[in-house]
Amino acid sequence: MPRYFIEVAYVGTRYSGFQVQLNANTIQAEVARALKIFFGKEFELTGSSRTDAGVHAQQNFFHFDTDTEISNKAVYSLNSILPYDIVVKNIVEVKPEAHCRFNAISRTYHYYITRFKNPFYFDRSYYYPFKADISLLQELAIAITTFNDFTSFSKKKTQVKTFNCTIEYSRWVFEDNIWRYEVKADRFLRGMVKGLVGTMLKLSKHNKTIADLADIFEKQNSSAADFSVAPNGLFLMSVEFKESIFHNLA
């Protein structure tokens, strides 16, 4: 049976996360509803990256199997059905064994911070007017790439076999009154980016050192990290796959 990847983008402010939930509206629920309305049948969607409530995405994916012939022309019609804060960007057939979660080779997240209250960014950035040492923040971000076990930066009640992640880059970008943390890795744990951002801000605020960050990693306990930053500043920017899953269809 043919398999398709559907690429989406969304503002997560009004939703209780990416994956379908009972008694709560989610990105998956809205996309499934639009597909059902347009094609007249239900599709079983599998998600790529499970963003939490209030988190946004420039790029995320579902995959589904169907015998119904689907072309990219459906994008326009689906977007006319979807609410204003969710958009389908692309629908493409992939190899039958392709998996939008397990075949992803990397993901990139950005976290936005505004230093001054700004009504135009209130739902898409974290307002942080407190003192912070930007040089230390950058040092902490770079140091994060030297660690592999992110147990301390994973929320509890998560079902994973390992807490190991390989960070390709971790850095801060400071542009006037908007700060942006950028991180790319082969995988991310639940709450991991928020934990990294919150912990770096806390260490900077209290004039801590790289050794204090290392101590948090070594404790392998999420109570040692700070997850208190708001979800509205977090964006999933991209999900990358091996090119082979898109080409040479059998």
Provide the annotated active-site residues. Answer: 52
What is the DSSP secondary-structure string of 40-102? SS----EESS---TT-EEEEEEEEEE-SS---TTHHHHHHHHS-TTEEEEEEEEE-TT--TTT
Strand partners of residue 17: none
CB 70 within 8 A of CB 224: no
> How far from 215 is each of 49, 68, 153, 185, 210, CA to CA, in Å?
29, 54, 12, 22, 9
CB 234 within 8 A of CB 109: yes
CB 54 within 8 A of CB 232: yes
- Residues at the binding site for substrate are 109
Task: Give the whole-angstrom CA distance, residue 94 versus residue 189.
Answer: 26
Q: How many CB atoms lie within 10 A of CB 224?
A: 16
Report which residue type is found at 149.
D
Q: List the structure tokens of 80.
A: 């006319």
- Name the residue with tokens 């660690």: 147
